Structure 1
Amino acid sequence: MAEPYYLTTAIHYPNGKPHIGHAYETIAADVIARFQRLRGREVRFQTGTDEHGLKMAQKARDIGSTPRELADEMSGHFRELFDVLNISYDRFIRTTDPDHHRASQAIWEAMEKKGDLYLDRYEGWYSVRDEAYYDEGELVEGEGGAKLSPQGTPVEWTEEESWFFRLSNYAEPLLELLKTPGFLEPVSRRNEMVAFIERGLQDLSVSRTSFDWGVKVPSGDGHVMYVWVDALTNYITGVGYPDGGELWDKFWPADLHLIGKDIVRFHTIYWPAFLMSADLPLPKKVFGHGFLLNRGVKESKSAGNVTDPMELADKFGVDALRYFLMAEVTFGQDGSYSAQALVNKVNAELANSFGNLAQRTLSMIAKNMAGKLELFSAASEDDTLLATVGKACAETLPQEFEALNFSVGIEAWLRAVYACNAYVDEQAPWGLKKTDPERMKAVLQTLFIAIRDLAIAIQPVVPEKAAAVLDQLGIPADRRSYANLGDADWFGALAASGHAIDKPTPVFPRLELPEEEPA
């Protein structure tokens, strides 16, 4: 029995509508979730919104709203986007959910019981935009000598009473954790965090009194929790903390926290330290992916280059967007996108290569064989092609996806698609109809088998389009898992059942670049 699998994204800050970066991370997580389900694992996949903190309170004040009204509106935009993008989450968590407030207070009380929380006064630099505190040595100089955070955001000097967490007590266990192979990837992120700890850990301010939009500290002394204590706790809220129960027993510790590279510190230093303090198991892996750049430039409202992922999905199709983002970018590194690049890649690889392969093969079966399958004797070149396709679909792609090397796995799949198209050109089944009709049937049915494997393998990336291909092939819904790729008897059973396919309709139409879209 396969082990259960618990996967989370970072929860997204809803002080504005979602952008392409939110779509990128959540699509990647959905690919992982679908992939693990196809491998036979019971998956729990959680995403959501991080709704507390000074930034939300200030934005609500600026627009004449309340933080709750702003959170409700913006969280709705994220949920709508994820539904459009076909994200198969099991829970969309909101940090305003009552069970989350209870969980956050429970982990606070556990850390307090451990002796790791104490009341003192905070004086230091704080970035409202990052919701983060920074040491003097971390700041960089901006225009006119202004002090900025390492992320380039404004900081302000803050003085107020605060609860502190004894982060300095956890330097050694955190170093040991970070040096554990596989805990934090890519390796470059791990090296950054090790260096951060080795410079010396300061105790962490974990409460604020200057605003009240957040989870109340259990002592009721007018403090609300620093947003990162509250935000990180969502990962255990969603599986039943502090009550325990079936979800907790089955899914915690998490198999993977998928996050952006800019919040690695919070997830691999602060979060493990909180869990250690509360005597809770630690997550198995944190992966800090790179940024998605707009034609090589980071998106910003001031630059006027912010992309609405809903518009991209509407213009080009959800699966086209999913495929491009997963195939184009080396996961873990920064990547770049443009509408032109998306159109070019999807047309070349999905429409012209895989889509055309499926369309012309199934059309010839429908026209020349009345759509009916039958048993056939395979020639050596047929066996060679199916071995090539089988290795790509059942071995290489799954191995690379397991390692989160999506673009590498898709490239292996695409090479198998190209092998099929080369086989079509070499065998020329349209000519065999007159000279050797039995050979024509063998060629077309070899391709039928190959297309089934290719469609099953690529399901995590393009779930709707892959399902449409498998529907046209007539593959039952319960015969589409990765375990079925090794099934040697399925074709014979399908042929013996009298199965026949209808004339196909194109699944991957060619895309066009809208006239107003910049290249």
Structure 2
Amino acid sequence: MAKPTIYLTTPIYYVNDRPHIGHAYTSLATDVLARFKRLDGHEVFFLTGTDEHGQKVEKAAQDAGEDPQAFTDRVSQAFRDLTTTMGFSNDDFIRTTEPRHKAACVALWKVLAERGEIYLGDYEGWYAVRDEAFYGPDELVERDGVKYAPSGAPVEWVREPSYFFRLSKWLPELLRRYDLPAGAPDRIDIEPESRRNEVRAFIQQGLKDFADRPEKLDLSVSRTSFTWGVKVPGDPAHVMYVWLDALTNYITAAGYPDTSHPRWRFWPADVHFVGKDIVRFHTIYWPAFLMAAGIAPPKRVFAHGWWTNEGQKISKSLGNVIDPVALVEEYGLDPVRYFLLREVPFGQDGDFSRKALANRLNGELADALGNLANRVLSLIQRNCGGMLPGAGDPAVGGALAGAVQALTGQVRDRLDRQEFHLALEAVMASVRDANGYITHEAPWALKKTDPVRMAAVLRRLHSALRAYATLLQPFMPGTMAALLDQLGVPADARDFAALAMPLPEGTPLPPPTPLFRKIDLAAA
């Protein structure tokens, strides 16, 4: 029986600046889950891309002295290049300036208008250009006579004609779906729980404050104060609100409005990965747009935290923005991929430090996993003629074997909850057990006293290494491919189902080579 399809997305990244560690982090989590699901037998569609319209981009292009299209072409390429640098396995890269996307936006607008979900009015309120969002007076903070949004962006009072989306109509339905039990077909799952509570409280407060004037909760979805955006069909003086435009990308790439498109079978999205600063857009506005258009909303939105740099908030003014490309050049791709998802629970804020990265690389990757692989494979070379020994007595290393066999299910459960650090900890705990096992059994000594047991011990350790390498492929694809080569695992036997099929005795194994380069802690 075929396993269900999986649709995973990153946010589409705003092209007013170059990529930084936050962009790499979100896409990395999406990539790891996509790779894992493919190895687990699912058909996966993994989408990323760039958000290229709006007042902020128009201004950034003006500041750069460029036409907006030329500006977005240039900056978008930097994000596309990042997918290559970081080894991401995305199936599509979408740009909101593409014709297919503009056509999807127009189609969605027309459906909403035909259903009476959009109406024309006037809007006035406090608007933050940086956030492309309006804020209520009670959300603002005033300093030195300037009002600021919760994000820290300055706001200005704006009044202009605007089309509105009947958001108020859909808020009770959103609350209902948030509160459905886990696994219910219509549930909209928001994780971590702190973000779900935040979103629920925001809606409940709005419904309470405007119980007598629900239209105050409706969302302005067009602008006339700038021109860089998708034109509203039938009223070209208006461009679509950038978030309506941007969020539509997720169905554009799935073939919308052609629901007979082969990719439409992937919708609704299984997980939208987003930063915590845009959770409101993805959990309130986006599912409301979709339900209003008769389209199923996403199943799950996971909002991760923010990074600091050596204990300091990251900002351009401080000059401490972390460049993921430079990190990869300095430490190597797979150690960076591993560290970013190992160090901090996904969903929480975390601090980046080079010393922490060096400790993870040296302690867990080089000393624990790399050293185990080198010891086992070197012993097979010296004592078994470079050939994989037979399984021998099944009682030898039976406890280790049982724990290793359970690993796939443990890692799957943790990744299904986006607990990346716990998935890695499960594997590393088993690696530590395997290191303890080889020390206890001392196969180098068994060569003289019990060569049959020695062969069984080495075979048991080889099987454990194969499982570790297979399960760690989504996190460190290049290095684990090299380890699987050294273990003699054929290229077509590297998915999770293949772990149930032992390699034949006598499989030739190449001499081992080091997998990880240790970092000088004094220089970190």
- Distance in 1, matches of 2:204 and 2:352, equals 37
Alignment check: 8 A CA contact 1:473 1:501 kept: yes
- Distance in 2, matches of 1:26 and 1:376, equals 40
Alignment of 1:140-159 (within 5 A): 140-142=141-143, 144-159=144-159
- Note the C-alpha offset of 1:295: 2.2
Larger deviation, residues 86-95 vs 503-512: 503-512
- Note the C-alpha offset of 1:512: 3.5
Q: Which AA in structure 2 matches 1:499?
A: T
- Distance in 2, matches of 1:229 and 1:429, equals 63
1:212 aligns with 2:213: no
- 2:502 aligns with 490
Alignment check: 8 A CA contact 1:400 1:409 kept: yes
- What per-residue deviation string (whole Å, max 9, x for no partner) do you get for residues 451-472 of structure 1? 0011111111111111110011
- 2:456 aligns with 442
- 1:508 aligns with 516
Alignment check: 8 A CA contact 1:24 1:292 kept: no
Alignment of 1:49-448 (within 5 A): 49-142=50-143, 144-182=144-182, 183-200=189-206, 202-378=217-393, 380-391=395-406, 393-448=407-462
Which SS does the other structure have where 2:14 is aligned?
Answer: coil
C-alpha change, 1:76 and 1:221, in structure 2 (3 Å) is closer
- Distance in 2, matches of 1:467 and 1:242, equals 40
- Note the C-alpha offset of 1:475: 0.7
- Distance in 1, matches of 2:205 and 2:4, equals 38
Q: Which AA in structure 2 matches 1:232?
A: L
- 2:42 aligns with 41
Q: Which AA in structure 2 matches 1:106?
A: A
- What per-residue deviation string (whole Å, max 9, x for no partner) do you get for residues 106-137 of structure 1? 11111111112111111111111111111111
What's the % identity of the aligned pairs?
51
- Distance in 2, matches of 1:105 and 1:17, equals 29
- 1:17 aligns with 18
Which SS does the other structure have where 1:223 is aligned?
Answer: strand
Gap regions ≥5 residues in structure 1: none
Tell me the TM-score normalized by structure 1: 0.95
Q: Which AA in structure 1 matches 2:260?
A: G
Alignment check: 8 A CA contact 2:305 2:346 kept: yes
- 2:185 aligns with none
- Note the C-alpha offset of 1:379: 5.9
Q: Which AA in structure 1 matches 2:335?
A: A
- Note the C-alpha offset of 1:477: 1.6
Alignment check: 8 A CA contact 1:128 1:155 kept: yes
- Note the C-alpha offset of 1:33: 0.3
Which SS does the other structure have where 2:397 is aligned?
Answer: helix
Alignment check: 8 A CA contact 2:396 2:456 kept: no
- Note the C-alpha offset of 1:194: 1.2
Which SS does the other structure have where 1:126 is aligned?
Answer: strand
Give the aligned length.
508
- Distance in 2, matches of 1:178 and 1:354, equals 41
Tell me the TM-score normalized by structure 2: 0.94
- Distance in 2, matches of 1:412 and 1:481, equals 18
Gap regions ≥5 residues in structure 2: 183-188, 208-216
C-alpha change, 1:260 and 1:476, in structure 2 (3 Å) is same
Q: Which AA in structure 1 matches 2:379?
A: M
Q: Which AA in structure 1 matches 2:517?
A: P
- Distance in 2, matches of 1:41 and 1:379, equals 32
